[in-house]
Amino acid sequence: MLVSTRLLSLPFRFRQALIARLFAATLALLLMALPEPARAQASGDPTAPHTHPAARAIQFPDTADFLSLTCDFHMHTVFSDGSVWPTIRVQEALRDNLDCIAITEHIEYQPHKADIPHPDRNRAYDIATRAAQNSDLIVIAGSEITRSMPPGHSNAIFLTDANALLVDDARAAFEAAAGQGGFTFWNHPNWTAQRKDGVARLEPLHDALIADGLLSGIEVVNESTYSREALQIALDNNLTIIGTSDIHGLVDWDYHVPEGGHRPVTIVLATERSQEGIRQALVDRRTVVWHRNMLIGREQHVMPLVGASIRIKRAHYPGDTSVLRLEIENVSDAEFVLRNTSPYGFHKQGDLIMLPPHHTTVLDVKTLDRLENVRMTFELLSVVTAPGTHPVLELRVPVGE
């Protein structure tokens, strides 16, 4: 977002207020994992508190149908208004175990140009690509189209030549990106420098760009911010849901990585681990954003990711009690927050359940009778499918020995 205020003195008209539509979201997710007593015993005492620090590498499991690729499509270096050389962006991404990054310099705003002259706007991409060549990291060419509102800032990625976007007319820049096969999304539509109240709103120019296929995604998460209005715009206009770091300084410092923080990422549900696989997934809207432990996405995308992340390791009645001991493993980096909506109460907890990342949580469930199958439902408070809307997690638990 860091840009000179000169570029940001922007007239904007209030469009009619956004009409929020709430979709009741329910889903029957069947987790039919068989009990695995041998594995449960090998992992030690499942009731022990979660003490080991979260690993830095960002990890989400693949879903049944797609690869879960972690991507950051918005970052800056000294080739616009960032503070680091492009090689640092590559090293940060490797430490975070990302699958893909796009370095997206402000094409029109070049505050370091006197110190680092570079007539070619592809330089940051070229340097990053060379730095990543002996790794698995996928580097995508991109650029930030940096305009006052409307249309504000947008990122075009999968470019072949960023220089061609350096044109006066905003729409012409979008057309140049599309002509290169680019995918363009609206950046930080909630930015207070361009929206004083922090509320994302479409303007007629956005409507036109969307209608003409020139604007295909929107940042619902940018840097430290989440915009529920941007999420509603994405749902109403069939835009790809994007979350990015927009990092200018260091990821470690801005996102407190040593203290367990993480940068926002877009989890792209792709059929193959390649630039084309990622591009196709973005075009098909198959994304989930991870931000401050929230997972944000359409229900058909986020729930398969939840289903792959939360597994029942074991379910049994200890001794001759009718209190079911349920061991639930979370194999993802997200901490899930659940609200119990089952007819059963718990022996130790209240109705608010936390599933820490990479940890097995034990619930003692008072089923009153010794049942062979137990159906439980939870509201997934840390998962968002529309503004104010959380999906339902249904567990159908076969009880073992």
Calculate ∠ Cα 251-69-179, nearest 5°: 90
Report the nearest approach of Zn ion to the CB of residue 155 (Å): 7
**C-alpha span between 70 and 90 (Å, rounded):** 14
Report the nearest approach of Zn ion to the CB of residue 188 (Å): 6
DSSP 386: B
Q: Of 23 and 253, which CB lies nearer to Zn ion in the complex structure?
A: 253
Report the nearest approach of Zn ion to the CB of residue 171 (Å): 18
C-alpha 354 chain-centroid distance: 20
**C-alpha span between 222 and 243 (Å, rounded):** 6
Q: Of 144 and 299, which CB lies nearer to Zn ion in the complex structure?
A: 144
Report the nearest approach of Zn ion to the CB of residue 153 (Å): 3
Q: Of 146 and 330, which CB lies nearer to Zn ion in the complex structure?
A: 146
E-strand stretches of 331-372: 336-340, 345-346, 352-355, 359-366
Calculate ∠ Cα 173-244-72, nearest 5°: 90
Report the nearest approach of Zn ion to the CB of residue 104 (Å): 6
Q: Of 153 and 195, which CB lies nearer to Zn ion in the complex structure?
A: 153
**C-alpha span between 36 and 168 (Å, rounded):** 63
Report the nearest approach of Zn ion to the CB of residue 191 (Å): 7
Q: Of 108 and 144, which CB lies nearer to Zn ion in the complex structure?
A: 144
User: Which residue number places its CB atom closest to Zn ion?
Assistant: 153
Q: Of 66 and 109, which CB lies nearer to Zn ion in the complex structure?
A: 109
Report the nearest approach of Zn ion to the CB of residue 286 (Å): 24
Interface contacts to Zn ion, rule CB under 5 A? 1, 144, 153, 187, 246
Q: Of 153 and 298, which CB lies nearer to Zn ion in the complex structure?
A: 153
Burial 85-98 (b: 16+ CB within 10 A, else e): bbebbbbbbbebeb
Name residue, tokens 């009990």.
35
Q: Of 1 and 295, which CB lies nearer to Zn ion in the complex structure?
A: 1
Residue (of 159, 80, 146) closest to 112 by Cα position: 80
**C-alpha span between 263 and 251 (Å, rounded):** 7
**C-alpha span between 348 and 119 (Å, rounded):** 65
**C-alpha span between 337 and 390 (Å, rounded):** 11
Report the nearest approach of Zn ion to the CB of residue 229 (Å): 17
8 Å CB contact between 39 and 60 = no
